[in-house]
Amino acid sequence: MSSDKLNTGQKALQINLDAKKYGAFAEIGAGQEVARWFFHVGKASGTVAKTISAYDMAVSDAIYGPSDRYVSRKRLQAMLDLEFDLLLKRLDKTIGDRRTFFAFANTVTTKPISKYGEEGGQGWLGIKFQTLPRCEPSTIIIHVRMLDWETPRQQEAVGIIGVNLIHAAFYQHIEPDRLIGSLLDGLTSQRVEVDMIKFSGPAFGDVDNRLMALQLVEQWLTEATLFTADGETVIPGELLWKKPVLLERGSFRPLTNPMLDMLERAQEMFVREPALQGEEPVVMFEMTLRQLQVGDAIDHRDFLDRVDTLGALGKPVLISNFLRYHRLVTYLSRHTQKPIGLPIGLVRLRDILDEKFYTDLPGGLMESLGQLFKNDAKLYIYPSLDKKTGQLTTVENLEVPPNLRHLYAHLVENKFIQSIANYNPDALKIYSSDLLAKIHAGDESLAQFIPPPIFEAIKAKKLFGWRQKQSAARVQP
């Protein structure tokens, strides 16, 4: 049976007819929506060794161990590990030489989306599987958000994406990009969002999970994905839940002293906001797909270089499709109701106030600003020094169109827009566009213009095309 454009039933049947695949299904929360497909299409005895729905919390704890949260990555991993180990213990001696075992698990909560925009269902799905008999297993874990309004539709979506995940693990694991693209077969991004994926094990020894996170955004399975400074992919709620957030957006090729100065000075102001009540914010960086483009395409090596330099500063990184700041703030507000701070330069502030960018919104600029500042968000503005004229532009002397002057004054007076005053004047004379030539030449003077950890990372890993100058002319024989 061809694997091209199979529907959900055909995928389940192909697996059932594959004499080598045999495994267990453990599902918590939404019912046995995935296992149901394999029974529905017939021939399930060739695939299903066991199904279990440990729905009761006490029963679930007794089987998989206690957990603070039942819909969590920790609970999913416990389910996968136990069910796979039980398969080996019970079946490996008798059929392990001719079967590849797998354990599929999910832990999901489904609930209708209210008319007030409250979150719907979400959950974790994963598969632990062998690619050859008696080989070490590999694992794929995903986190999903269900976007349908009705609970039955969310349950249906869980079943479909679960079958897609199992089928892709078996038949597309050597092409992770294609595997990711197949997860929404039979669905749309309006029904399901996959905002986290992690590959591990021998089948994925060459896979960089940061690139896989990028693929989720590139292929429109999600609008944003997040990973920690050490490259670990996480869901936003794991880092941002009920915490204040300070986020700097940029292209970071590389991050320069002015960018770091802007972030640090904004952080000094942000932590003094009364609404934070002394709580330390999550400080992070964000890049959009447009900022990742080099020419007309995204250079994956260049992307990893940027991530490596940001990781040297120990900050998480968000990758998004949000061109406009109000959509970024709306996204962050899904995960926290605490204050949000955005350090930006004067050029970006001009863009935010430019009415031509909001012609597709019914409320235009006013609607955008309403969403941007709705949840106690603030903009911290770094001044700009004109490279040619030497003119300094700040919040106080920024020229805005006459029809926006009163609106701009309102935003400044009420401290939605605040000027960063305690900046480093020398940093204003550094421009990112001047630094790539120094990197390509291996120019040690680069150390004057970028943070020391980033300079050391560029040198050690030869990022952005770094090369050392020849230390001396060759001696002629």
Task: Spell 272-290 as b/e; 16+ CB within 10 A means b.
Answer: ebeebeeeebbbbbbbbbe
Q: What gap in Å lies between CA 354 and CA 348, rounded to an integer?
A: 10
Q: Are residues 12 and 107 in the same domain?
A: yes
Q: Are residues 46 and 180 in the same domain?
A: yes
- pTM of full prediction above 0.75: yes
Position 381 in a domain: yes
**How many angstroms separate the most distant Cα atoms in the chain?**
83
- Any idea what the CATH number is for the domain that residue 409 is in? 3.40.50
Q: Residue 258 sits in which domain range? A: 238-432
Report DSSP letters for 92-126, one per residue: HHHHTTT-EEEEEEEEEE--PPPTT-----EEEEE
CA 296 to chain centre: 22
CA proximity to 187, closest of 150, 158, 214: 158
The pLDDT assigned to 114 comes to: 57
Q: Are residues 172 and 251 in the same domain?
A: no
The pLDDT assigned to 90 comes to: 97
Q: Are residues 214 and 70 in the same domain?
A: yes
Which of residues 218, 251, 270 is at a domain's end? 218
Q: Are residues 23 and 92 in the same domain?
A: yes
The pLDDT assigned to 191 comes to: 95
Position 33 in a domain: yes
State how many domains the chain has: 2
Q: Are residues 321 and 180 in the same domain?
A: no
Which of residues 218, 248, 265 is at a domain's end? 218
CA proximity to 27, closest of 109, 105, 124: 105
Position 3 in a domain: no
Q: Are residues 205 and 244 in the same domain?
A: no
Residue 242 — φ and ψ, nearest 5°? 60, 35
Kindly give the pairing relationship between strand 21-28 and strand 384-385. unpaired
The pLDDT assigned to 118 comes to: 55
Position 145 in a domain: yes
DSSP, res 48:
E
Position 93 in a domain: yes
Q: Are residues 134 and 271 in the same domain?
A: no
DSSP, res 161:
H
Position 393 in a domain: yes
Q: What gap in Å lies between CA 341 and CA 334, rounded to an integer?
A: 15
Q: Are residues 209 and 286 in the same domain?
A: no
Which of residues 162, 183, 218 is at a domain's end? 218
Q: Which residues contact 80 (CB under 8 A, 6 or more apart)?
A: 103, 105, 126, 127, 128, 139
Question: Which residues are registered as beta bridge partners of 341?
Answer: 246, 378
Q: What would you report as the CA-atom Rg of the chain, rounded to the nearest whole angstrom?
A: 26
Put residue 232 in one of left, alpha, beta given phi > 0 → left and psi -120 to 50 → alpha.
beta
- Any idea what the CATH number is for the domain that residue 79 is in? 3.90.950.20
Position 462 in a domain: no
pLDDT tens, position by position, for the chain (477 residues)? 554 689 999 999 999 999 999 999 999 987 799 999 999 999 999 999 999 998 888 889 999 998 888 899 999 999 999 999 999 999 999 999 999 999 999 999 988 765 545 567 899 999 999 999 999 999 999 999 999 989 999 999 999 999 999 999 999 999 999 999 999 999 999 999 999 999 999 999 999 999 999 999 999 999 999 989 888 899 988 899 889 999 999 999 899 999 999 999 999 999 999 999 889 999 999 999 988 887 778 889 889 999 989 989 999 999 999 999 999 999 999 889 999 999 999 989 999 999 999 999 999 999 999 999 987 899 999 999 887 888 899 999 999 999 999 999 999 999 999 999 899 998 888 877 789 889 989 999 999 999 999 999 999 999 998 985 544 334 333
The mean pLDDT of the chain is 91
CA 145 to chain centre: 13
For a pLDDT cut of 70, what percent of the chain falls above it? 96
Position 132 in a domain: yes
Q: Are residues 144 and 246 in the same domain?
A: no
Q: Are residues 53 and 144 in the same domain?
A: yes
Angle CA 461–319–459, to nearest 5: 10
Residue 124 — φ and ψ, nearest 5°? -115, 135
Which H/E stretch holds residue 308?
helix 300-311
Q: Are residues 193 and 264 in the same domain?
A: no
